[in-house]
Structures are given as C-alpha cells and as structure tokens.
Amino acid sequence: MRFFLAALSLTVLTSAWSAHAADIELGPRPAWLVNQMDDSPLKAKLESCIGQPVKRSLFSISHRGAPLQFPEHTEEGYRAAALMGAGILECDVTFTRDKELVCRHSQNDLHTTTNILATDLADKCTSGFTPAQGDEPASAECRTSDLTLAEFRSLRGKMDSADKTAQTPEAFLNGTAPWRTELYGAAGTLMTHGESIRLFKDLGVKFTPELKAPKVAMPYDGFSQRDYAQKLVDDYKAAGIPPEDVYPQSFNLDDVRYWIANEPDFGKQAVFLDGRRDLEPMDPATFTPSMEELKAMGVNYIAPPLFVLLTLENGKIVPSPYARAAKAAGLDIITWTLERSGPLGSGGGWYYQSINEAVDGDGRMLEVVDVLAQEVGVKGIFSDWPATTSFYASCMGLE
C-alpha cells in the first residue's frame, strides 16, 4: 500500500515548486484507485483520463496541506497540495501568546503535530508529558498560546500522531499510522497566517482560512472573539487579496454571521462548517436552524462531513435528506474529508459511517466522489491528498 501512496518524489517536488508551476503532478495514486473499481461506465470514463493533462480546480480543496504523507499545515505540505492541482488551500488559524495568527489545526495540538516535546519549549506546555501507566495513556498538552510567535517559529512540524503507550517524550512523538508515511516527515516548516497568504498567492491558488475555536478563555488578554475574527480578514485586506478569492470558515455560526455583517465582501463566501452534534442527517426536523433560516441569515456556503450528505437506498449510495434540503434552500455545499480514513476495506470508518455497508475497498472512493459531485452537487471536496479530487474534477470538466 505504501508503494502506491508514495505518489510524489522529492526530486519532482524540488523541480516543480516554482512560483507558478506549469504542470500538475498527480503521481500514480489516482490511477491505482481507478484500477480498484468494479467495471462500470464511471470506471471506463475515469480510465480514459489517466495520463491526460490535469487542470487546477476549485473543486479540489487541500485539507491542511497534504497530510496523508506530509506534516500538516507546513510549507512542504502546502506546496505538495498545489503541485497536485488543488485550487484552494486551507490554513487553520489559531493564535500565539502574543496574539499572532498561525496555521495549526487546533490551538492545543503542538504535542502531536510538532517536535515541541523534544525541545526546551516543552517546559512551557500547558501540561507536560506524562508516561502511560496501567490503563492511563501517555499524555501532554501544548498550545500555541503557550508560546510567543518567535518560539513557535523555532519548532518543526511532524506527522500528526502520538504513541499513547509511550514511556518517554521521544517515544510519544512517534505513532504515525501505517497507511501514512514518514517519508517526508523530516521537513516540516511551520507558517504564520500571513506567510501562508503570501505562499498561496505565489502558488496561484485561492484561500480558505478556518478560524479555530480557542482553547483559552475569551477575551484573552483583551483579545475578543470578534477581534480574532476581524484579525483574520484584516490579514487578507493588508495583503491586497480580493475578497472573491477567500472562503473564510468556522464551526462557530456567530463567526460566520460576524463576517456577513461586518465584512460583507468576505462574508458572502464565508463557510459554515456544520459540525452540529444534535443533527440527524436523515431527519430535517433536527436541522436547527433550518437550511432556510441559515440562508435568511446570509449564509451561502455550508460544509458538513461527507457522511452527512449520503445515505443508502437498496444498497445504492444516494443524497441524504440533509443534502436535498441544503440544495433546495439554495445553499452551496462543500464537504470533508477525503483520503483521511486510511484503506477502505473495512467500511471507511467515521467519514463514511452513513454508507459503511456499501464501502468494501478503495475502489469505492471515486464512486463516492461521483455521487457527491453529480447528485449532491457539492462545489468542492476537502482532501488529505488532493491528487484524487484534482484528477476527478479535471476528468469530469469541473472548474
């Protein structure tokens, strides 16, 4: 499996990481996924596109860079994602102790996504390393808000993982899933939000920053949630980025409504990441607020996990009631996250939970993408390996 996942060589990356790379490099994974499919008209269509030129597509959204193989939210991962044809790149935004915005998936993930526990900065973590003992797993908690920006810059990104059986900090930093790789894990350049904007502009892609929920109490040293939401937008305004190139995201509906009300040029493309725990995708009565109410608030984009958009009818994968309701209300739909579940032979796990019974191998992945694109009508799919979505979008002529 790893052979097929090793889709990009460092030689290719080094030669192609120029400002506006003329060619997109997919590597062998998309062709391998097509080869796993059952014979069908879809497979025949996709087979006809193998080896053909690929266009960059807004349908292909990079999720945290390219974390199937590269440390997430690092320069190396972002460059890999752009090389694979992603039209939109994501910087998850959080802040340091001195209230500077940086790219991290969570304010408290430094202990699993960086080498902090192997540095002197480990002493500044919210909770230091505790070894596994009996039924208690090894643990640590290191936040961006524990560090100044200068201290944050000194860290190296690594594959997001932890060995919960570890007895030492060094061992805790290991634990990468066997279906990922450490092939490119030695290099992980962390980035500020501003640096990501400059890089993405240079790579010729659009922007989807996600305002992450703070782990510290807000306001934080006079820094309110509104200040935080505004600071994110201000970084794009300062860099001269057109609002139509930016898709700000948040799981917090109040953040989205703040942008709609106070930064309407950015707010009209603000994405409500729908992670509501009390929502039942098959029961519209649980959609509170309803799709129509969201639209009336000015929300134009909604983004649930992919299982929320799908269900099974007589063993066939079809759009869910949630998907139909969102479409009927005039909401544009984005979904997450492809290529994050590992091999799909056992049903695909959390991201495929509504259709687990129909998912029996990696050959189903592009079938799922096809239903999302052609029947649900999603505008884009976040992927941990954008070559897959770029290949599909280019083959099907999606912009």
Average pLDDT over residues 74-100: 98
Q: For residue 153, is it within any domain? A: no
Residue 251 has pLDDT above 70, yes or no: yes
- Integer Cα distance of 115 and 118 in angstroms: 6
Q: For residue 309, is it within any domain? A: yes
Query: What's the structural domain count of the chain?
Result: 1
Per-chain mean pLDDT for the chain: 94
User: Which CATH number characterizes residue 84's domain?
Assistant: 3.20.20.190
Q: What local confidence, expressed as pLDDT, does residue 187 receive?
A: 87
Q: Which domain holds residue 259?
A: 41-105+190-396
pLDDT tens digits along 32-52? 999 999 999 999 999 999 999
Q: What local confidence, expressed as pLDDT, does residue 23 receive?
A: 82
Residue 6 has pLDDT above 50, yes or no: no
pLDDT tens digits along 144-190? 999 999 999 999 999 999 999 999 999 999 999 999 999 998 889 99
Q: What amino acid occupies position 317?
A: I
- Integer Cα distance of 139 and 302 in angstroms: 34
Q: What is the DSSP string of 88-149?
A: EEEEEEEE-TT--EEE-S-TT-HHHHBSGGGSGGGGGSSEEEE--BTTBPPEEE--GGGS-H
CA dihedral 329, 334, 340, 342 (to 10 degrees): 60
Q: What local confidence, expressed as pLDDT, does residue 19 receive?
A: 34
Q: For residue 142, is it within any domain? A: no
Residue 1 has pLDDT above 80, yes or no: no
Q: How confident is the model at residue 17 (pLDDT cuts 50, 70, 90)?
A: very low
Q: What local confidence, expressed as pLDDT, does residue 262 receive?
A: 98
Residue 12 has pLDDT above 90, yes or no: no
pLDDT tens digits along 273-331? 999 999 999 999 999 999 999 999 999 999 999 999 999 999 999 999 999 999 999 99
Other CB atoms closer than 10 Å to residue 200's CB: what's the count? 26
Q: For residue 93, is it within any domain? A: yes
Q: For residue 271, is it within any domain? A: yes
